[in-house]
Structure 1
């Protein structure tokens, strides 16, 4: 069973419907005891980093997620949820994240190296480039996925960068270290590749449970 963390700022409906299409049982909850019984967690997110961390800290879900990840439970962050996995974000000032992955979320400059302006937020379909093997990308081919974001992660380790997209420079799109993963785009809105990535995560969760 997958536990979708409900802290008041997630795209819960679309993520839950995607899991239903995959035939994967899930719960949506803000109750730490209920979520602790899930074999894997999904941390969705839409909105501002500062507000999300404030809610996670106030509810105690931030320390819960970190504790569960450190115990080896699979965790997947989606969109803002991916950025929350990192050390900090520059959105609305400098704010501390969950610190499960190394790196910082920064704002798109909106101006490329030639001085030409480009659109922010980054919104639309971009092709993924796979960098190294991962349980999330197993059996999948590089295709387009759907992004909506104004901030992107930088300073991540080379080993944690599973896939990237190009939007006036390299944008980390799929990240992962040990049992902690993130997707900057919306897999539930990204066609076959998005569903394939989400399906691979649920299979990874199932396999981890079998190995215990």
Structure 2
């Protein structure tokens, strides 16, 4: 069972549909016991960091997420919540990845919306992914490049398109909306 974390993020249903098309059973849940027992956990993400973190803390899910031992995938806001902090609402986030989330300058060029390729890729999820392949992004905030960066994209400045540490994986782009390349990356995560 693939658990998709329910925390009022906007793309939970599109992630669920993509995972189901790949042949996996899913559940959208905020039940800590279901999350702990799931084969994999996905933190989807379209929303705002401060309100998302408030929801996670109110439900005690911040502690649950940090304790998970199975593969976990954060997508877009889900990735940003796995970082140390976000400038969006001056929010302290989960701190899995040792990087900060900042707002793109200048404001007239955000959000970064549309298809973009990579300037570099490495790691399990990106085996057989060419840097010229495009994925779909929609975000105004970005994770700085760190030792845990496994994919880099350039929009205004280079930023972490994906992060990985231990059992935690994350993409700033939406694999569920990124045509064959994104589905290939999602499938690699589900096959871990």
Runs of at least 5 residues in structure 1 that lack an aligned partner in the other structure:
112-117, 205-212
Alignment partner, residue 137 of structure 2:
147
Answer with 1 or 2: which has the greater Rg.
1
Query: What is the RMSD of the two structures over their aligned residues, measured on CA atoms?
Result: 1.3
Alignment partner, residue 187 of structure 1:
175
Picking from 78, 81, 92, the partner of 1:81 is 78
CA contact (8 A) 2:120 2:153 kept: no
Is 1:26 aligned with 2:26?
Answer: yes
Displacement after TM superposition at 1:10 (Å):
3.9
1:15-59 deviation line (CA, Å, top 9, x unaligned): 001001111222111111112210111001111100100000001
CA distance in 1, matches of 2:170, 2:80: 8
Q: How many residues align?
A: 191
Change (3 A) 1:4 1:24: same
Question: What SS is found at the alignment partner of 1:9?
Answer: coil
CA distance in 1, matches of 2:96, 2:146: 12
Alignment partner, residue 104 of structure 2:
108
Alignment partner, residue 12 of structure 1:
12
Is 1:135 aligned with 2:124?
Answer: yes
CA distance in 2, matches of 1:56, 1:109: 28
Runs of at least 5 residues in structure 2 that lack an aligned partner in the other structure:
none
Is 1:169 aligned with 2:157?
Answer: yes
CA contact (8 A) 2:151 2:161 kept: yes
Question: Please, what TM-score do these two structures have when normalized by structure 2?
Answer: 0.95
Alignment partner, residue 63 of structure 2:
63
4+ residue runs over 3 A deviation: none
CA distance in 2, matches of 1:141, 1:26: 29
CA distance in 2, matches of 1:45, 1:10: 6
